[in-house]
Amino acid sequence: MALSCAQALASTAGTVISNTATLSFDIAGVRHTVSSNTASLILAETLDVSVETDAPSGPVPEREECAVGFVVVNHGSGTETFDLTAQAEGQGASVLFIAGDTDGGQVYDAAVDKPLANSQLTLGSGARTHVFAVIGSDCAKAGTIRLRALARTGSGVPGTVFPGQGDGGGDAIVGKTGADTNGTVTGTNLRLLAKSVQPSLTKSQTVETSDGSATANAGAIVTYRLLAAFPRATTGVEIEDPIPAGTAYVPGSLTLDGATLSDAGDDDPGQADDGSILVGLGEVAPGTRTIAFKVRIL
C-alpha cells in the first residue's frame, strides 16, 4: 500500500490551496486507486500599508497655494482600498482635498491630477502611488501636514482577524503596521502650485440591485457622486448633470454634502427631473462640495 499527495503552492491572497491524496493498493493482482476528498482553503489577506513623504521642493512663499506629496504603499498580500485623510496642523491653512497622481508624473498638476473620489485609493499587493494633499492659501503657515491611510477591510492590533473579509472570501489579518499609518511633511517640503489653479469636478458611480449585487441591469439603482473642488473662493458656481438615456431620475434622491435637496425649483439650490439635475451654489469658499443623486435603469 502507498500514499501520494499533490499540493498547489500559492502566495497571493484569495488563492485557493487544494489538496487531494490517493490510496493505491493491490487486490488479487489488480492495482486499484482511491482518491480522498479534497481539502481546500483560501489564502488569507494580510492588511499592511505605509505612507512615505515625497522629496522636498524648497521653501514656500507666503500666500501661495501648494500641494504636499506623499507615497502610499500597499504592503499587504491582496488588493485593498484605503481611506485617506489629511490635516494641516498649523494655523491659517487647511487641506482642501486629496488628489491622485493621474499621469504618474509625481508632481502635482491641477489640470490632470483630480481629487480622489471619497478620498479613497485602491492598490494591488505591493503597489505604490503618489498622492497630493492640496492646501489653500497661507501655505507657509501650514506647519506639519499629516496624511493617514486606513485599510477599509479593517485595522487594529497586528494579528487581528476579520473572518471572510479578505480577497476571494478568505480571512483578512492585520499586519505589523496595524493597517493604519501616518506620513508627515513639514512646511519646507511643499510643492508649489500655479496661482491659476481652477476648480475641478470628479464623478463616480455605484450600482445596487435588489439582490445585493452590483450588476447594471434593468431595475438597478445607480448612484452618481460629483465632487467639486475649489482651490480658492469662486463665484457664480452651477453644477448640472443630464440624466443618462435609458435611465429615470429617482425622485427625492438629490443631495448636497449629505443634505437632501428638493426636486422643485424653490428656495434651496437644487432642482431635478428626468432631464437633468442642477445645483446652483453661487459663491463658494475654498474647499469641496459633494452632490449625489440616483437613477433607475429602465
Asked whether the beta carbons of 250 and 221 are under 8 A apart, the reply is yes
Mean pLDDT of 116-121: 91
**What pLDDT score was predicted for residue 5?**
35
Q: Considering the entire predicted model, what is its pTM? A: 0.63
Q: Please choose, from the candidates 177, 172, 83, 165, the residue with its C-alpha nearest in 3D space to the C-alpha of residue 123.
A: 83
| Model pLDDT for residues 189-243, shown as the tens digit of each residue | 555 554 445 788 888 999 888 877 777 788 889 999 998 888 778 899 999 999 9
pLDDT of 9 > 50? The answer is: no
Q: What residue spans define the domains of the chain?
A: 2-43, 46-192, 200-297
Distance, CA of 90 to CA of 140 (rounded, Å): 9
| Cα radius of gyration (the chain) | 26
Of 247 and 7, the one with more pLDDT: 247
- Angle at 252 (CA atoms; ends 249, 256), nearest 5 degrees: 100
**What pLDDT score was predicted for residue 156?**
93
**What pLDDT score was predicted for residue 11?**
65
Domains 46-192 and 200-297 share a fold: yes
CATH architecture of 46-192: Sandwich (2.60)
pLDDT of 277 > 70? The answer is: yes
Q: Please choose, from the candidates 263, 244, 256, the residue with its C-alpha nearest in 3D space to the C-alpha of residue 291.
A: 256
Asked whether the beta carbons of 225 and 289 are under 8 A apart, the reply is no
Mean pLDDT of 131-140: 75
Q: Does domain 200-297 have CATH number 3.40.50.10710?
A: no
pLDDT of 78 > 50? The answer is: yes
Q: What's the chain's average pLDDT? A: 83
